[in-house]
Amino acid sequence: MKTLYSMIVAALPMLLAGLLVMPNAALSADSPAPTLTVVAFGDSLTAGYLLQPNESFPAQLQMALEAKGHKVQIVNAGVSGDTTAGGLDRLAWTLQPIPDAVILELGANDALRGTDPAKTRANLDQILTTLSASNIPVLLAGMKAPGNWGDAYVKAFDAIYPELAAKHGAALYPFFLEGVALNPKLVLADGMHPTAEGVAEIVKRILPNVEALIAKAQAHKAAAKN
């Protein structure tokens, strides 16, 4: 007749196996779906100039996406005062680690300073080339030049974004400040930067484009696993 001790010893391997298997099974069942990382790479319009952190474009965009069921992290890589040249200089370390997608919003400060559109084009071209080489889907947010530099400048500058988007196969949102620029109810006292409400308007308008970017990033990620 088996003693209680011998029965416990006999059952011990099964008990230990259960302890090893059960936590892993529970972790698998409860583990969240993979989160996509999207870098919002831009200037003060992205960074959230004079706004609270939760009022910035990346923060409001993430909340809007999460409200629609997307598992995504929007990284705020906006630097106030940045130009396309500055963006190009910091691109390499911004892409560490490699994100799943990028929203590229640069050029406003170039236009305000009257930078030669050929230089702005060359900088953005190089940024997009680098992103393409890393197979990172991009949503290019366009900018428009102020009229004080003359018609020739405006024509040359405004053409940069659609032409580069076509060249690199990037998605294009034609004008980042659409519906907000020159609206005194949606911009700060400087007449240029959006208020929290202005950012909310930008997010509302650009959201379908960002959702399309996320779908493309998900497809890229799935393809990479196969």
CATH number at residue 87: 3.40.50.1110
Same-domain check for residues 48 and 9: no
- Shared domain for 67 and 136, answered yes or no, is yes
Active site residue 56: no
Catalytic residue among 44, 82, 100, 110: 44
d(CA 104, CA 42): 6
Q: In the chain, how many domains are there?
A: 2
Same domain, 39 and 9: no
pTM: 0.85
Question: Which strands form 72-78's sheet, in the order they lie side by side?
Answer: 72-78, 36-42, 101-105, 138-141, 171-173
Ranges of residues in the chain whose predicted pLDDT is under 50: 1-31
Catalytic residue among 28, 31, 151, 190: 190
- Domain of residue 122: give its range: 35-225
Tell me, yes or no, whether 127 and 174 share the same domain. Answer: yes
CA distance linking residue 225 with residue 160, whole number of Å: 35
Q: Examine the residue annotation and report whether 168 is marked as an active-site residue of this protein.
A: no
Instruction: Based on the fold, state whether residues 59 and 138 are members of the same structural domain.
Output: yes
Instruction: Tell me: do 217 and 118 sit in the same domain.
Output: yes
**Residues 17 and 41 grouped into a single domain:** no
State residue 226's pLDDT score.
78
The answer to whether residues 210 and 137 belong to one domain is: yes
Alpha-carbon torsion, ordered 133, 107, 206, 175, to 10 deg: -120
Indicate which residue of 31, 132, 193, 220 is catalytic.
193
- Residue 196 CA to residue 60 CA, distance in Å, equals 9
Residue 190 known to be catalytic: yes
Q: What is residue 33's predicted lDDT score, i.e. its pLDDT?
A: 54
Same domain, 151 and 210: yes
Answer yes or no: do 183 and 94 share one domain. yes
One-letter amino acid of 42 = G
Same domain flag for 174 and 188? yes
The encoded tokens of residue 163 equal 């032409």
The pLDDT value given to residue 32: 54
Question: Tokens for 123?
Answer: 């900088």
> Given this model, what pLDDT does residue 22 score?
29
* Per-residue pLDDT, 221: 87
Per-residue confidence (pLDDT) for residue 142, from 0 to 100 = 98
What contacts 58, CB < 8 A, 6 or more positions away? 40, 46, 48, 74, 75, 76, 78
